[in-house]
Amino acid sequence: MSDRGGHGREPAGLDGLPPLHSVAKGEVVSVQSYGAFVRLPGYKKEGLVHVSEMSASRVENASEIVDVGEHVWIKVIGREIQGDKVKLSFSMKAVNQGTGQDLDPNNVMADQDARRRKQFRDHTSNRITLEAVLNTTCSKCGCKGHFTKDCFSAPGLQYALVPEEDDEEAQQQQTATNRPPQDSDKKKKKKEKKMKKKKKRERKESDSDSSSECKTKRRRHSNSLDRQEKKKKKHKKQKSHKHS
């Protein structure tokens, strides 16, 4: 925590600070999204009430609970020394805001919260760094991203994973979709050839049908002519007989 009053250097120890687990009423001097800073009367230090310590229910923003200048009841749940600075942690949910009664007299909730904070704290203070992937190809296994000397593959036979049935079906579908358009062009050409052959056959059949019809018509016509001639000849013969 920082000294907002600006009265000299931060204390090196915990002297002159409110005792741990004590309950007091203070004034909200600053509201941030992560919590509110509260100043206690008679003390220069300001303590932080984190959003997780404002209410038993979930709080998204500290401005939903408190405003600047508002007086609230707090309980001192933490005092930490970091170098020459001292951090004070307050809790509002551990105190009844109407009467100022301590709702956690045995400090069970405070101990549980402190344990949680210690579990998630990084004592190494080391930053996480991302390593770049090497743009190299291993001459031993043929994989990318490492040198031959760092290769973990052992000499001998190399085995590949057998794909499952679902994977095989998916691969078949992919190969079917990724086939070159030459196959489809060949199929189209074959279909066109078949259609042409069918049309030729139909034409031939139609021509043959038409020729047969013409032949039958000619035969009928010739037969009719023969009949007419025969009738004429008969008629002439009958006439000649009558005259004689």
Cα gap 31→68, rounded to integer Å: 6
Confidence band of 8 (pLDDT split at 50, 70, 90): very low
Q: Which helix (H) or strand (E) holds 241?
A: helix 182-243
Look at residue 123 and tell me whether its pLDDT is greater than 80: no
Query: In the numeric block, which tokens belong to residue 127?
Result: 């930053």
Q: Strands 71-82, 46-50: parallel, antiparallel or unpaired by DSSP?
A: unpaired
Q: In the prediction, which pLDDT does 243 show?
A: 58
Q: Of residues 181 and 193, which shows the higher confidence score? A: 193
* CA atoms within 13 Å, Cβ hemisphere of 96: 7
pLDDT higher than threshold 70 for residue 107: yes
- Would the pLDDT of 176 be above 50? yes
pLDDT-based confidence at residue 163 (cuts at 50, 70, 90):
low
Question: CA 157 to CA 153: how far, in whole Å?
Answer: 10
| Lowest model confidence (mean pLDDT) among 39-43, 66-70, 171-175 | 171-175
Collapsing DSSP to helix, strand or coil, 26 comes out as strand
Mean pLDDT of the 191-204 span: 82
Residue 231 in 3-state DSSP?
helix
Quickly list H helices, 38-107. Answer: none
| Phi, psi angle pair for 42, to nearest 5° | 90, 0
In the predicted model, what is the mean pLDDT of residues 154-168? 62
Between 39-43, 122-126, 239-243, the lowest mean confidence (pLDDT) is in 122-126
C-beta separation of 53 from 113 below 8 A: yes
> In this structure, are residues 47 and 76 in contact, taking their beta carbons and an 8 Å threshold?
yes
Residue 194 pLDDT > 60, yes or no? yes
Check if the beta carbon of residue 131 is closer than 8 Å to that of residue 123.
no
pLDDT of res. 138: 81
Q: Does residue 124 register a pLDDT over 60? A: no
Percent pLDDT > 90 in the chain is: 23
User: Strand, helix or coil at 155?
Assistant: coil
pLDDT for 1 equals 43
**Model confidence at 244: pLDDT above 60:** no
Among 55, 62, 91, CA closest to 74:
91
How much is the pTM? 0.43
| Cα 15 from chain centroid (whole Å) | 54
Domains of the chain: residue spans and CATH: 22-117 (2.40.50.140)
The neighbour count for residue 52, using CB atoms within 10 Å, is 15
Least confident of 58-72, 87-101, 189-203: 189-203
Element (H, E) at 31: strand 23-31
How would you class 92 by CB atoms within 10 Å of its CB: exposed for 0-12, middle for 13-18, buried for 19 or more?
buried
3-state SS, residue 35:
strand
Is the CB of residue 80 less than 8 Å from the CB of residue 87? yes
pLDDT, one tens digit per residue, over 201-240 is 888 777 666 666 666 767 777 777 777 777 777 776 666 6
Q: Tell me the CA distances in angstroms from 224 to 128, 212, 237, one per residue in order.
A: 113, 18, 20
Tens digits of per-residue pLDDT, 12-23? 456 678 888 999
